[in-house]
Structures are given as C-alpha cells and as structure tokens.
Structure 1
C-alpha cells in the first residue's frame, strides 16, 4: 500500500486540527499525532511527509474554499478527509446560518473528490455530537455518514468507520467519556479515532 516515500495529508475541522498550531511539527496532539507516530515507528524504512490541515469550525463549504491551496497544490499521495460534524452541529447551535443539508454536502464533497480521484483517498465518518446515540445531532449525522459511504464506493476510497465505532463505544459498558464537550476529543477519543483509522487503512 505504501511507497518508499509517502506524502500523507489529513484535512478536516477542529477534531483534526487539535493542537497543531501549538506544535512545532504542526501535527497537533489529537488522532493525527497518534497515527503519525504509529506510522513512523511501524514503517521506519519508509519516508513519511505527514501534514495536518485541520481548521476549527470548518464545514464542507469552508473546505471547498481552501481545497486547492491545502490539497491540490500540496499534491499528496494519500488524502484523509474528516468533515461533517460542523455541517450538522451548526444546524443545532446556529440555526440562523445558511445550512448545509445532505444534498449540498454530497454535491460539494463530490466536486472536491473529483480533483483527487487519481490519489489514494481515505474518507472518515464524522464522529459524534453528544455522548448519547439518540441525541438529535447523532440522528442527523446518519444521512451524512450515508453520503460518505456512497462517495467512497464511487471513488473507490477507504472508509474509516469512526461514527460506527463511537456509537459502538457508547453502547458498551464503558466508564470513561471520549470527548471534553460532546464533540471535541479527549485522549481516549483521539485514541479511538486513531485506532479506527489504522485498522481501516493499514
């Protein structure tokens, strides 16, 4: 799967960004850091250029505005996209904004993927909104998760089942929370995201 030299890009919202602006390597302290370190120690004979292009608050419409600069011009070999949480969350916390429904989400996402269809694409399901599987945000997320699966099949992309794994965790007899506020990950949530990514991609 991996070449001797690999340029890997993670792009998304604050869950991806997590701590990267305070990090000298611009990788951050979230799931991207865990995957970064795992790849470095697991494939020491391969050369890794790993980039974090997460930006807090981003929806798919924001990703579109910076896609050319942050993705196309960088020309990575592997692109991992994690987007969708804010497309739903803004419907709940800022209903006065112009919203991104599943149809628009799919339309823009497809446009972006068309520009990288010759690359190795990894599509991450959005995680959760509140640590309650019946919460309104998690119910709304289902349609966005379905879009990601549809696009993954269309573009022969790898799906990282992050939403599925977080829901499974919520259904378990777990004792520890996975977020600090219902959305942003604590260390356990970041580990769950990284483990799910590694399982799906490697």
Structure 2
C-alpha cells in the first residue's frame, strides 16, 4: 500500500511537471522557428556543442565517429541521439558531441572551425554560459555579461554566414539553487540568461528554455538537487528532462 501511494504521488508530480514544462515551451518566443527542423533530414548531421553539461564524460579519442554511445557521453546528447537513431533508421543520421568541460564562449570561438563549421551540421545545438559566470566567481575569468553577449552573437553570426542552411538551436543556460549555486550567482546569472535569449531572438534561432523547464519542474514538487546535484551538472533525471524538452521544442 505504501509503495502504491508513493508511486501514485511520483506519477502525479511527474505529470504536473510535464504539463508545466509544456506550457513553458508553448510560451517560448522562438517557437515559430521550430518548423525548420520538424523532421530529421536524410543524411543529416546533428552537432551538440557546449561545456561539461554537454560533454558529460564523452570519449575524445573516438570523437570523429558519429552515433557512438561513448563519444556522445552520458548526458542529454546521448539520450537525444539514441531516440532519434532508434526512430529514424532509414535517415542515415550522423550525431556528434563536441562539448568540452570548462568551456566558455571564447573557448568555443577558438575551436569553432574544426569542431563546428567543418562538420557542416544540419542542426547545431549550443549550450554555453554557466562557466562564463562560475569561473568569474572563482577568480579564473573576468568576462562581463556584455562580453558574453557580444561574443556569443559574433559566434552565431559567423556560423550563419558559413552555414546558412543550418538550423541553430540555442539552449538557455541554467543554475538551480543548490550545491555550488548560492546568492552570489544572482542577479548576474539571470542577466546572462537574458543575454542568451536576446542572441537567439536577434538571430532567429530555436530557443530551448531550460531554466524555465527546471523551475517549472521544481515548482511541481521536486527539489533542485533531484535535477542537478551541484546546481549546475544535471543528474540522470535532469538529462532526461533536458532531452525530452529539446526534442519537443525542436520537433524531432
């Protein structure tokens, strides 16, 4: 009886979180851009870029091999890739993960030709921003919100010029109030999130509201550390929610 009650409570909480996330996605300002990637292109290339959240322990030595579980890591890129490959066996998709732990916007810029442009992705997903503030708080970086905004906008502009047919997906950086995340992160973290959204809106990219997604799930009854133990790096549940949300917004 106790097990049944717990399972029912968990199911209701999960349903509430899913309903809230769906409402948040419907309110996304970039929802109109989703149609560009509503179906996997035959022979399409999907590339995930970012920091440790995207990296998720991926194998670097074999990164040139697409569709490999170890090269996709243990996070949301692998979960997204597994679902897409299973559901689209005839599409001949190639899925890559080139996230690198610790990366900030300047780090992406320095390796963009080899790790992005040369791969000619059909869909490019970028999640970057948390290290731009975390490393600043640790005294290892002095970049401002404006630096983040202008650098990110320049990276997207460069990409659009080189790959005009690529669907670009910008993911909202997030921080949950637990673990390493405390009041010192705010309001600058919120300012950087707003800057990322401005970049996405100005460039007309798809926008994934990850912070809104997590906030909605927490409001439905789960604690922040259920989704990200240190407030930054997602748990398995957090990666699962990210993967589901990414696919719903992108429409794949």
Give the alignment's TM-score, normalised by structure 2: 0.73
SS at match of 2:85: helix
How much has 1:178 moved relative to structure 2? 1.2
Q: Report the counterpart of residue 231 of structure 2 in structure 1.
A: 182
Distance 2:210 2:229 in 1: 17
The structure whose RCO (Cα within 8 Å, separation 6+) is larger is 2
Unmatched segments (≥5 aa) in structure 1: none
Preserved CA contact (<8 Å) 1:130 1:138: no
Aligned length: 200
Residue in structure 1 matching 2:97, options 28, 38, 52: 52
The change in CA–CA distance for 1:37 and 1:23 in structure 2 (over 3 A counts) is farther
Distance 1:34 1:50, change over 3 A: same
Match of 1:155 in 2: 203
Please tell me whether residue 108 in structure 1 is matched to residue 108 in structure 2: no
Which has the larger share of strand?
Answer: 1
Deviations 1:113-145 (A, max 9, x none): 112211210000012154389743253221111
In structure 1, how many angstroms separate the alpha carbons of the residues matched to 2:228 and 2:196?
23
TM-score (norm 1): 0.90
Q: Do 1:72 and 1:115's aligned partners in 2 also have CA atoms closer than 8 Å?
A: no
The equivalent of 1:77 in structure 2 is 122
* Cα separation, 2, equivalents of 1:19 and 1:153: 31
Given the alignment of the two structures, is residue 39 of structure 1 paired with residue 84 of structure 2, yes or no?
Answer: yes
Alpha carbons 1:22, 1:28 under 8 Å: kept: no
Q: Secondary structure at the match of 1:112?
A: helix
Q: Does 2:47 correspond to 1:9?
A: yes
Measured at CA, do residues 44 and 23 of structure 1 come closer, stay the same or move farther in structure 2, by a change above 3 Å? farther
In structure 2, runs of 5+ residues without a counterpart are: 1-36, 63-67
Would you say the 8 A contact 2:75–2:239 is kept in 1? Answer: yes
Structure with greater Cα Rg: 2
Structure-1 separation of matches of 2:115 and 2:103:
13
Cα distance change, pair 79–70 in 1 and its aligned pair in 2 (3 A): same
- Quick check: 1:89–1:129 contact (8 Å CA) kept in 2? no
Q: Which residue does the alignment assign to 1:123?
A: 170
Q: Closer, same or farther in 2 for the Cα pair 1:131/1:149, shift >3 Å?
A: same
Question: Where in structure 2 are the equivalents of 1:131-146 lying within 5 Å?
Answer: 131=178, 135-137=183-185, 139-146=187-194
**Residues 98 and 127 of structure 1, relative CA distance in 2, 3 Å threshold:** closer
